[in-house]
Amino acid sequence: MITTALFDIDGTLLHGRPIAHGLAMVEGLNQAFDLALAEADLLSVDLAGKTDLHIANDLLDRAGVESSDREARLRRWCALAAGVFAAIADHHDDPVVAPDADATLAVLRADGLRTSLVTGNIEDIAHAKMSRAGLGDHFPRGQGGFGCDSTVRAQIVARALERGGVSAHQAVVIGDTPRDIAAARGAGCRVVAVATGFATAGDLADADAVVAALAEVPEVLERWRSSD
């Protein structure tokens, strides 16, 4: 029986380009590694479906950074980037909430499901985004999987399962990219792909279900729960 819905953020719950998030990642790396990266450097790497930690490593590799203490500096970077985001978010972009996001989450919770985040975002940035979008009440702290947990998305899903105390067959991932699907598969979970990001329905065909909007998710989960 499905008890937990694990939601991706960017492209799924929120739309638009997260400008402040990108700037915070770059400035955090500049502070942690004494670099002079710009937003253009961030836009030069493939971002879709990757964890923030994965993206940070890509940027460091492209910059030719060879540091024996990279791991320790990246742990510091997670906190630095979150601090920068908190300082600049209100000045750069307003959250573009996916249609029916709040209503969909409310329906799932009313049906007895736990809603948690499973996102490539740094944890504090993820929660700040949800709070700014008016969705924070759906995602209490202390659960979910986040971008500084691992460079591998499947391990982030596994971390969310561990924090939630649920098995893979009790959880379903809701995301908008092929990497979300692969992450769910890697952790043994079912996955609903929402064709609201840059990926097309055809790109998402490997999901257990593909929907055109978040509002369709509760019906899919109810059907699965009834048949489990």
Residue 62: both structure tokens together: 């492209």
Average pLDDT of the segment spanning 16-33: 93
Q: What is the pLDDT of residues 99-147, one digit of tens each?
A: 999 999 999 999 999 999 999 999 999 999 999 999 999 999 999 999 9
Q: What does the domain layout of the chain look like in residue ranges?
A: 4-15+96-227, 19-92
Q: What is the pLDDT of residues 149-190, one digit of tens each?
A: 999 999 999 999 999 999 999 999 999 999 999 999 999 999
Q: Which residue has the higher pLDDT, 66 or 162?
A: 162
End-to-end CA distance of the chain: 6
| pLDDT confidence bin for 84, thresholds 50/70/90 | very high
Contacts 24+ apart (CB under 8 A), 184-187: 184/154, 184/157, 185/154, 186/152, 186/153, 186/154, 186/155, 186/157, 187/154, 187/155, 187/157, 187/158, 187/161
Please check whether residue 147 is in contact with residue 119, taking contact to mean a CB–CB distance below 8 angstroms. yes
Nearest alpha-carbon partner for 129 in 4, 10, 5, 7: 10
CATH topology of domain 4-15+96-227: Rossmann fold (3.40.50)
Q: Evaluate if residue 60 carries a pLDDT over 90.
A: yes
Looking at the DSSP bridge assignments, the partners of residue 197 are none
* Radius of gyration of the chain, Cα coordinates, nearest whole angstrom: 17
A 10 A CB-CB count for 201 gives 13
Share of the chain above pLDDT 70, in %: 100
